[in-house]
Amino acid sequence: MRVIVLGADGYLGWPTSMHLSARGHDVVAVDSLVRRRWDTVCGTHSLLPIARMERRVARWKAVTGRTIEWVKLDLRNRADLTELITRYRPDAVVHFAEQRSAPYSMIGAAQAVETQYNNVIGTLNLLFALRESAPTCHLVKLGTMGEYGTPNIDIEEGFIEIEHNGRRDRLPYPKQPGSFYHLSKVHDSHNIMFACRIWGLRSTDLNQGVVYGAQTPETELHPELRTRFDYDDIWGTVLNRYCVQAAIGRPLTVYGRGGQTRGFIEIRDTVRCIELTVENPPQPGEYRVFNQFTEQFSVGELAERVRAARRVHGLETRIEHVPNPRTEAEEHYYNAKHQKLIDLGLQPHYLQDTLIESVIQLVEAHRHRVRPETIDPRVSWRDGARGRLARPKARRPAAAGSAA
């Protein structure tokens, strides 16, 4: 198939582009490179140096003989996006091109508006471009399990059967988003579902859990093919943060009581899920939802897992509970269904102590690049950044041939 990957410069977009190319698909990688600008704004960076997109695609061709076409484009420009879809007429579009940080969206009004405008308007522009120029294209949209929140009932995959006053219906599962970022994803879901219903488009919404790790078979082929590894308070995920803290001898900081439970997935399973979804499209007019994760953990359990992995090597790691910057339930019921991708053939990689240790070893190999001052939370859900998001003064490490 011809597949356009939007947001191809990102943490998941680049490994997905390579993964689909390696399996014979004709991949067009599209990005505005805004994620790199946001690093500058927030004083953050990838622990692993990442190459420029031009270097990435050139190295991919040199290593594999396969071509990934690179296009710089902003989805907020409807004319350019429509021209892109018209030129390539893709069989599938994988849509990662969104501001994906809940903390960033909660810094203040400017960041909340930027998040909603970038995500919602970009997706609307894409829907109109597909209707006009590629109405049979399969839109694969990366959503988030955070759309659901933490209800006191089981979380279904997108839809729920409801009986009310003696009548039954199948309705979208109720959403309880936890940030302006998560709200933007809910708006996207509703817009996409509406477009499928009225225009006959086809789409799969992948409500993904928290992703960890940074290594896939493709990223390991050459240093210039690596993807990002974020560990800071704005872009980092909890397991990555714990592994960095363990590697540099800092306490593992658990927000609040630590009972916040979420779905988690390893990066190799993420790219496989995208592949399975692309190669098994829905029917015209169908909007479907897959919950894309493999295991559930509380943030406190994850901290204990990291500490146990360290103890195997005779290293003691302290766990420290800190005030929670987020407004969220710290102890709650959580049971989410995630069967549909398993039915398509996903064989999950489960979190093992050896995998935790491999991530820590990856961090240790680049510990000279760790910026400890970016780990502690700087953004409060109630008060925003309160002027504390000034760019850290630590020197930005550089690597030959890299852009970060």
Q: What is the mean pLDDT of residues 282-287?
A: 98
Task: Round to whole Å and give the CA distance between 241 and 370.
Answer: 11
pLDDT for residue 387: 58
Q: Does 401 have pLDDT greater than 60?
A: no
Q: Catalytic annotation on 181? A: yes
What value does the mean pLDDT of the chain take?
A: 95
The CA distances from residue 201 to 82, 126, 197, 258, 286, in Å, are: 16, 12, 7, 41, 7
pLDDT for residue 16: 98
pLDDT for residue 354: 87
Share of the chain above pLDDT 90, in %: 94
pLDDT for residue 389: 67
Instruction: Assign residue 7 a region (left: φ > 0; alpha: ψ between -120 and 50; beta: otherwise).
Output: left
Q: What is the mean pLDDT of residues 393-403?
A: 41
Residue 24: other Cβ atoms inside 10 A: 9
pLDDT for residue 390: 52
Reported as a single tens digit per residue, the pLDDT across 187-240 is 999 999 999 999 999 999 999 999 999 999 999 999 999 999 999 999 999 999
Q: What's the whole-model pTM score?
A: 0.95
Q: What is the mean pLDDT of residues 147-176?
A: 98
Task: Round to whole Å and give the CA distance between 253 and 266.
Answer: 21
Q: What tokens were used for 266?
A: 């390893």
List the domain boundaries for the chain: 2-374
3-state secondary structure 334-357: CCECCCHHHHHCCCCCCCCHHHHH
Q: What is the mean pLDDT of residues 131-138?
A: 98
Q: Catalytic annotation on 354? A: no
Beta bridge partners of 202: 138
Beta bridge partners of 253: 320
Decide: 72 and 31 in contact? Cβ < 8 Å. Answer: yes
Decide: 400 and 77 in contact? Cβ < 8 Å. Answer: no
Burial zone of 163 (CB within 10 Å; 0-12 exposed, 13-18 middle, 19+ buried): exposed
Decide: 184 and 158 in contact? Cβ < 8 Å. Answer: no
Q: Does 388 have pLDDT greater than 80?
A: no
Reported as a single tens digit per residue, the pLDDT across 199-214 is 999 999 999 999 999 9
Catalytic entry in 16, 144, 204, 374: 144
Pick the CATH number of 2-374 from 1.10.600.10, 3.40.50.720, 3.40.47.10, 1.20.1630.10: 3.40.50.720
Catalytic entry in 11, 104, 173, 181: 181
Q: End-to-end distance of the chain based on CA atoms, in angstroms?
A: 32
Q: Catalytic annotation on 64? A: no
pLDDT for residue 400: 33
Residue 399 binned pLDDT confidence (cut-offs 50, 70, 90): very low
The C-alpha torsion from 72 through 217 and 220 to 92, rounded to 10°, is 0
Share of the chain above pLDDT 70, in %: 95
Catalytic entry in 88, 104, 150, 185: 185
